[in-house]
Amino acid sequence: MSRIVRAFTRAETRPRAIVWTGAALIIAIGGFAVSQLVTSQNWFCNDVCHVVHLDNERAWREGSHNDITCMSCHYPVNWNPVSFTLDRVDKLLDIFPTVTKSFHMPVNEYSHVALTTPAEQCTQCHALDTRVVTPSPGIVINHAVHENAGIPCAVCHNRVAHPEDFELQLPGNEKKADFMSMTACYRCHTLEESSPSGFRATGECSACHTPELDLVPMSHDVAGWFTERGDSRGHAEAALAEAERVSSAEEAWEEFAPEFYGKGPRFFARLAGVEHELTVDVPPPATINECFTCHARQYCTDCHGVEVPHPEGFVGEHGSRFTPSADAQSCAICHNPTGDAANDPYTCTLCHHPQWQRDAGSWLATHRYVVRATGGGECFDCHEQAQCAACHTSDDPASFELY
């Protein structure tokens, strides 16, 4: 240091000192500028750093924004050079996992990136008040209400720049949920009283669909989806599978949520001013049961009459909850589905007294033949002797006499 000072203070070395210092400064600034430029190019993001983003980059190439730089969506709008520099320092931390291929897979689980992307990232190019939006046939969208509710673009358009319509190649990577699906709209829209997120908007079909759309999905066309007095296993299997899928998705989300909410910018990124705040708090679409996007739960219960699958303890308590006269008919849709409709009101008896033959007369009038033939022992799986005795005088079933 003192040598440099001396070079400047001695008259004969001063001109050379000034020239060399100037040259060094120009090289440093030039080098810095070039390094900024180079590290801001798409090829740098894609080819140098982002082996980890192999799939992601291919998706970008196939998307509608493949002539838009990565930076315009992934770096805060109008960032200053200091922030850029700090961010590059932050990126150095990625070299080790990239080189050793020890990065975390799958990338961007649960679309953390989308849910931390602010609207201005998109509105720097898109002005929706002037743009004519042409939704797909049958779909209605109202951008203004969402903007007013503070819901940024990527909460719906999450895959706009990275559509994953191909087999992913990176081992361990997984496709992200598409927030443009109807099920993802039902993170906030719902037919029920309360929604899965902090937002609640209408779930009525007419809000998002024009009248010409056929509202019954193709899944419902399969044989055996629902047949009056016939095979209805189709919808039952689909509902059971969906309930199963949702419950494991909920479990996985519950396990991952602490990490998801705990995600924040690293030290240098934070210094650079990266926010990383969630723009909205919505659950993953996988935790939404698809049946209950189009159907209120009550719709199912109205047809079933009871909770299905029957809840725990149901078998033991149904005797006190239901009566033959009021409820047998509704039990019939499942417990006498393909049988004679005339037997529906006797569904309790169809189950309890399978030996009953309607043509022979009422159970009351005909149980005698069953007891005579079988000895009546199985009757006491359900009945106390005293119940028989209420009508009969003897304790011995085989020799019951009427009182």
Q: Site residues for ligand HEC, window 247-286 (CB under 6 A)?
A: 280, 282
Paired tokens of 395: 């304790």
Positions in 284-313 near ligand HEC (CB under 6 A): 290-291, 293-295, 299-300, 303-306, 308-310
Contact region for ligand HEC (CB under 6 A) — 29-37, 248-256, 258-266, 318-326?
318-326
Min. distance of Cβ 335 from ligand HEC in angstroms? Answer: 4
Question: CB under 6 A: which stretch of 80-88, 92-100, 131-139, 261-269 binds ligand HEC?
Answer: 131-139
Which ranges constitute the DSSP H helices of 209-290?
A: 233-262, 267-272
Contact 157, 129 (CB under 8 A): no
| Omega cis (within 30) before 106 | yes
Site for ligand HEC in 47-106 (CB under 6 A): 50, 53, 56-57, 60, 64-65, 68, 70, 72-74
Nearest residue (CB) to ligand HEC, 9 versus 357 = 357
Q: Which of residues 324-383 bind ligand HEC (CB under 6 A)?
A: 324, 327-328, 330-331, 333-335, 337, 347-349, 351-353, 363-365, 367-368, 370-372, 376, 378-379, 381-383
Nearest to 185 by CA among 211, 214, 157, 162: 157
Q: 276, 265 in Cβ contact below 8 A? A: yes
Please report the beta strands in 57-150, taking only residues with DSSP state E, as ranges in sequence order: none
Grouping H, G, I as helix, E, B as strand and the rest as coil, residue 190 is strand
199 near ligand HEC, rule: CB under 6 A: yes
Q: How far apart are the first and last CA of the chain?
A: 122
Cβ–Cβ < 8 Å for 132, 142: no
The interface region with ligand HEC, picked from 31-39, 96-104, 117-125, 255-263 by CB under 6 A, is 117-125
Residue 203 interacting with ligand HEC (CB under 6 A): yes
- Beta strand 189-190 with 201-202: parallel, antiparallel or unpaired? parallel
To ligand HEC, the closest distance from the beta carbon of 5 in angstroms equals 47
